[in-house]
Amino acid sequence: MDTALIIEKFVLVVILFLISLGIAAYSTYFERKLAAWIQDRVGPDRAGPFGILQPIADGVKMFLKEDFTPQNSDKWLFIIGPGIAMFTALITSAIIPWGPDITLFGRTMSLQVTDFNVGVLYIFGVVSIGVYGIMIGGWASNNKYSLFGAIRASSQMISYELAMGISLITIVLMSGSLSLTDIVNKQHGMDWNIWYQPISFLVFFICSLAETNRAPFDLPECESELIGGYHTEYSSMKLGLFLFSEYVAMFVSSALMAILFFGGYNFPGMDAFSGNLLALLCVVAFFAKIFFFIFVIMWIRWTIPRFRFDQLMHLGWKTLIPIAIINMLITGLVIAFNQGWF
């Protein structure tokens, strides 16, 4: 192991960390703006020009609030709950390929922290442990609403993980690899997976809304029934971490959707460029796709009302999973047919 590699990766990790947090912070601002626009309002515009300093003001407010711990709560678990939520939201970005290799200071650097050869499974692993933050936080609060939120979150996540996994298998079947880099490189130019797997994308999109607890699947935190759900008892920056982790998760799942179905950093006409310029354009294209998905997710939140819990379970188990399984079987059959098995 050479020192340069360690420095390179360290710098990349720090940049990714800052970008994730920055985008999450500005997602809160953009979400409020978008909600306002949809409701014919202006939105936050007091802090700085067009209110662009609003996330900083919110952050300062979060830090200055009283950090309250309920008396009969499990103190230790109450503290680590938001930490786990934030941690799991952040670590997914380690395997996302942000762009093709660049050449800097005479070194070829990969814009990916690690090319994990079971990247798709790694995503699943992170998603499946992501529920712990909410569950622990909700349980440790010792509040019945929080407990309801935690239970809803866990059952929702377990239900939608299945459909998500099965819809992802089609992508793995088509790419023949579990590595995200291979999946992206397979979709060179305009040859995106969405043209072959629209149903799979739909299932994956709905499931990732459910996994990130975004509306219309925000039952774990629904304000009207559960008064905030799992974060009812949280205040100050612990609450901030919970809310923040939701936006980080949204950013990461948008990135995953772009990678798995919309070609990641590929864009039409990319063969005309090469070298660092290509890498730069690729990163720009990738982030454009990510922002588009973040926009769509927010747009959905401010359009569709929340599901009832039985509707949620019905959709997950009786609709999405059969669709995903049939889609997977058809994909498998077509691939087998193309390879001349029949």
Partner 1 sequence: MTYELISYILGGLTIGSALMVILSRHPIRSVMYLVITFFFISGHMVLMNAQFLAIVNVIVYAGAIMVLFLFVLMLLNLNKESEPKMSIASQVAAIISGGIFLLVLLAALSESILPPMPQQMSKSIADIQNEGLVQNLGQLLFSKYIVPFEVSSILFLAAMVGSVLLAKREKQNTEEL
Partner 2 sequence: MESLSNRKKVVSDKPMTFVESLYLPAIFSGMMVTLKHMFKRRKTIKYPEEQRVFAPVYRGMHVLKRDEQGRENCTACGLCAVACPAEAITMVAAEREKGEENLYREEKYAEIYEINMLRCIFCGLCEEACPKEAIFLTDRIVPTEYERNEFIYGKDMLVEKLDKRIDITKRQDTGKRGAV
Among 10, 37, 76, 195, binds partner 2 (CB under 8 A): 37
Q: Is 38 in the site for partner 2 (CB under 8 A)?
A: yes
Q: Which two tokens stand for residue 216?
A: 């219309």
Q: Taking contact as CB under 8 A, which single stretch among the options 166-174, 242-250, 257-265, 298-306 is the one that binds partner 2?
A: 298-306
Among 304, 330, 333, 334, binds partner 2 (CB under 8 A): 304
**Which of residues 102 and 249 has its CB atom nearest to partner 1 in the complex?**
249
Q: Is 300 in the site for partner 2 (CB under 8 A)?
A: yes
Which residues lie near partner 1 (CB under 8 A)? 74, 77, 116-118, 121-122, 124-125, 127-129, 131-132, 135-136, 139, 147, 150-151, 154-155, 157-158, 161, 178
Among 45, 67, 115, 191, binds partner 2 (CB under 8 A): 45
Q: Is 68 in the site for partner 2 (CB under 8 A)?
A: no
Bridge partners for 107 per DSSP: 104
Q: Taking contact as CB under 8 A, which single stretch among the options 98-106, 117-125, 136-144, 301-309 is the one that binds partner 2?
A: 301-309
Q: Taking contact as CB under 8 A, which single stretch among the options 32-40, 131-139, 242-250, 264-272 is the one that binds partner 2?
A: 32-40
Are 342 and 335 spatial neighbours (Cβ–Cβ below 8 Å)? no
Q: Is 333 in the site for partner 2 (CB under 8 A)?
A: no
Are 36 and 259 spatial neighbours (Cβ–Cβ below 8 Å)? no
Spatial neighbors of 69 by CB under 8 A, at least 6 apart, are 75, 78, 79
**Which of residues 40 and 66 has its CB atom nearest to partner 2 in the complex?**
40
Q: Which two tokens stand for residue 262?
A: 């919309």
Nearest to 129 by CA among 95, 93, 166, 81: 81
Length of the chain in terms of residues written: 342
* Helical ranges in 114-235 per DSSP H: 119-129, 131-140, 144-175, 180-186, 198-211, 223-226
CA distance 98 to 285: 10
Nearest to 279 by CA among 264, 294, 292, 261: 264
Size of the site for partner 2 (CB under 8 A): 13
Q: Is 279 in the site for partner 2 (CB under 8 A)?
A: no
Q: Is 314 in the site for partner 2 (CB under 8 A)?
A: no
DSSP state for residue 109 in the 8-state scheme? E
Q: Which two tokens stand for residue 172?
A: 């793995």
**Which of residues 38 and 118 has its CB atom nearest to partner 2 in the complex?**
38
Please give the residue ranges that form the binding site for partner 2 (CB under 8 A): 34, 37-42, 45, 299-300, 302-304
